Amino acid sequence: MRILHFGDIHFWRLQLARDFYYPKRLLGIVNLAMRRRHHFPAQLAREAMMQIASEDADLVLFSGDMTTMSLEGEFRDAAKAFAPLYEKWGDRLVAIPGNHDRYSPTSVRRNYFESYFPHAAMPEGRRVLSRQFGEHLCVVGFDASRPFMIRSNGLLDRGLERELDHELGMIGETGRKVLLMGHFPYSYPGGLPGKWHHRLLRDEVLAELIARHQPVAYLHGHKHVRWCLRDTRTPQTLCLNCGPAGMASALTDSHAGWLTFELDQDGRLTGLTKVSLSSGGDIERKAVPIPSEI
Ligand SMILES: [Fe+2]
Ligand SMILES: [Fe+2]
C-alpha cells in the first residue's frame, strides 16, 4: 500500500476575525502581515495541492494546520483546495486539525473545522478517530490541538490519554498494524526537547503510550522540517515529520513538500521518500534511509 503524508499547508487570509480581541489574534495578524505571508505564498500552496492531487497513492494522510488563524474564509479556501483530493480518495483521505485550526475558543465553538471538513469530524465529544483499511491496517488520528491565549502548544490531557489508550488497546487485540497520526512531535532530531511555547504538553505520556502499543509509525508535522527518526523510548516506532506543504524555504526539508512510503501487510515500511517542489515547478524525490530499530 502506497501512502502519502502531508500537512502544514497553512491557507491564510489577511483579515480581522470577529473575536479580534482574543490575545493571540493581534499577534497573529501582525506576524502574518509582516512575515508569515511571505513564508507561505498562496500560489505555492495551490501548486502543492495540485501536485498532491496528481500523485499516485492508496491512502493520503493530513496531519493538521490547514489554516493559519482558523478564520472561516481560510477554512473555505482550504475546503476548496482539498475538494479534488476528497474527490479522488474519498474516505482514503484522513485529516486531523492542528493548533492553527483550533486558534481561538470562538473558532472552535463555531465548529469551522467540522463544518468545512465533515469527513474529518470526530463523533461528538471524541478526539480520536480510527479508520480501518483492508484486513491489516488501521489509521488512528487524534486531536491534541486547543486554543492557547498566546502560545502554540498542544495538550494530551488525561481524557485524551484514556481514549487513545483504549482505542490502541482494542486494535492491538485484533493484530492489525497501526499508523498513528497526531499534529505534534514528541521527539526531535538530536534528542533536543521541543520549545516550551511550541511543544505538546505531556508529550512524555504520548511516548509512553507509543512504547506500549508500538504503532508502525507516528506521523506528525507542526515543526516545519521533514524528518525521519527513531526515539530510544519507542524503538519499534518510526517518527515521521512530513514538513510543511505550503512553506517557501531555501532548505529543501523545510520547503513545500511531503512524504511517501510503502507499507506491507506485515507492517514493514519501505521506500520512504521526501518529496519537494522545486522553484521551477518540478518535483524532487529523495529516498530516505530508514533508521533500524535501536
Ligand atoms: Fe504549522
Ligand atoms: Fe502546528
pLDDT along the chain (294 residues), means of 10: 98 94 92 94 96 98 98 98 98 98 97 97 94 96 97 97 98 97 96 90 98 98 97 97 97 97 95 91 93 80
Q: According to the model, what pLDDT value does residue 281 have?
A: 73
Is 293 inside any structural domain? Answer: no
Judged by its nearest atom, the ligand closest to the C-alpha of residue 243 is 1
Query: Structural domain tally of the chain?
Result: 1
pLDDT value of position 108? 97
117/98 Cα distance (integer angstroms)? 13
Amino acid residing at 228: C
Q: What is the CATH number of the domain that holds 36?
A: 3.60.21.10
Which helix H or strand E contains 210, and what residues bound it? helix 203-213
Which residues make Cβ contacts (< 8 Å) with residue 106, sequence separation at least 6?
A: 17, 18, 19, 22
pLDDT of residue 294: 67
Tell whether 222 is covered by a domain.
yes
Residue range of the domain that includes 184:
2-287
* CA angle, residues 42, 46, 47, in degrees to nearest 5: 115
Q: How far apart are CA 100 and CA 1, in angstroms?
A: 30
- The Å distance, Cα 9 to ligand 1 centre, comes to 7
Tell me, in angstroms, the distance from the centre of ligand 1 to residue 176's CA.
Answer: 30
Which helix (H) or strand (E) segment holds residue 51: the answer is helix 42-53
Q: Looking at beta carbons, which pairs linking 25-33 to residues 24 or more positions away fall under 8 Å?
A: 25/69, 25/103, 25/104, 27/150, 28/68, 28/69, 28/103, 29/69, 32/68, 32/69
**Ligand 2 centroid distance, CA of 148 (Å):** 12
For residue 172, give the H/E element and its range. helix 158-174
Around Cβ 107, how many Cβ atoms within 10 Å? Answer: 25
